[in-house]
């Protein structure tokens, strides 16, 4: 069984305060990641930057949880999937995606992928597209309190996806017992670049 932790003494305003503390830090690390990939700085500048980075890491490690972030909930039920590799506001490797649900039940996200997400030169890594689609399709089939896990994901690459501003959409296609089928895609300004379909299964422990 997965460990979803409810932090009993954390009010909604506490959750907002913690987000205000850690989200700008995470944004700074995202900018650093981009600079680390693109820099042409010389030995001295790189050594000076590395010393500052190592100092920052030591400060942050002076008080840190053991293991990964997990998924925590505040006392008021506010979910904090802040470490998540796709949507985590405290995970510098996440774009992060902000996913919104539309009136028809489908979900959509507009996002930007820069140098950190590259595969073929100037283009999104095919695996990154698969990563994003897995999450967006999973979001389309999920409702609060029901944790659905991917059974099978199929990704079809129509053409290369350029780095830059992109969008993703997904919706449920149909449900059959404990299985829910979803479809979706990633698009640039000229239309879809990658399509996906997936079947999600409500795990046995979540049905009991």
List binders of a copy of itself among 81-140 (CB under 8 A): 82-86, 88, 90-93, 114-123, 125-128, 130-135, 138
CB of 64 to a copy of itself, least distance (A): 4
CB of 79 to a copy of itself, least distance (A): 12
Is the peptide bond prior to 96 cis by the omega test (within 30 degrees of 0)? yes
Tokens of 132: 């994003």
Pick out residues in 19-48 that bind a copy of itself (CB under 8 A): 21-22, 24-26, 28-29, 31-33, 35-43, 45-46, 48
Tokens of 119: 């595969």
Count of residues touching a copy of itself (by CB under 8 A): 89
- Residue 135: name the closest of 198, 189, 178, 203 by CA: 198
Reduce the DSSP state of residue 132 to 3 states and report it: helix
Residue number with CB closer to a copy of itself (8 or 104): 8
Pick out residues in 54-73 that bind a copy of itself (CB under 8 A): 54-57, 59-65, 67-71
CB of 114 to a copy of itself, least distance (A): 7
Tokens of 197: 């379909």
Is 185:155 a contact under the CB 8 Å cutoff?
no
DSSP secondary structure letter of residue 141: H
Pick out residues in 148-187 that bind a copy of itself (CB under 8 A): 149-157, 160, 163
Residue number with CB closer to a copy of itself (84 or 108): 84
In Å, how far are 49, 67, 70, 162 from 45, measured between CA atoms? 6, 33, 36, 31
CB of 38 to a copy of itself, least distance (A): 4
Residue number with CB closer to a copy of itself (11 or 39): 39
State which of residues 50, 101, 102, 165 lies at the interface with a copy of itself (CB under 8 A). Answer: 50
Exposure of 85 in the CB half-sphere (CA atoms within 13 A): 9
Reduce the DSSP state of residue 198 to 3 states and report it: strand
Residue number with CB closer to a copy of itself (104 or 189): 189
CB of 202 to a copy of itself, least distance (A): 14
The dihedral built from the CA positions of residue 48, 53, 58 and 59, taken in this order, carries a sign that is positive
């Amino acid at each position: 069984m997965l460990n979803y932790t409810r932090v009993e003494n954390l009010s909604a305003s506490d959750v907002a305060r913690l987000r205000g503390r850690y989200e700008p830090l995470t944004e700074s690390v995202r900018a650093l990641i981009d600079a680390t990939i693109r820099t042409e700085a010389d030995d001295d500048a790189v050594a000076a930057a590395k010393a500052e980075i190592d100092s920052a890491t030591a400060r942050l490690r002076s008080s840190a949880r053991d293991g990964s972030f997990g998924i925590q909930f505040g006392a008021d039920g506010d979910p904090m999937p802040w470490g998540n590799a796709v949507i985590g506001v405290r995970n510098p490797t996440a774009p992060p995606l902000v996913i919104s649900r539309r009136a028809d039940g489908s979900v959509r996200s507009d996002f930007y992928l820069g140098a950190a997400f590259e595969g073929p030169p100037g283009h999104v890594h095919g695996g990154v597209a698969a990563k994003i689609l897995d999450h967006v399709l999973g979001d389309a089939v999920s409702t609060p309190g029901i944790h659905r896990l991917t059974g099978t994901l199929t990704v079809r690459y129509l053409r290369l996806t350029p780095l830059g501003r992109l969008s993703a959409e997904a919706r449920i296609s149909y449900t059959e017992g404990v299985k829910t089928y979803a479809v979706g895609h990633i698009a640039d300004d000229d239309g879809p670049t990658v399509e996906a379909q997936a079947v999600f299964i409500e795990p046995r422990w979540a049905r009991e």
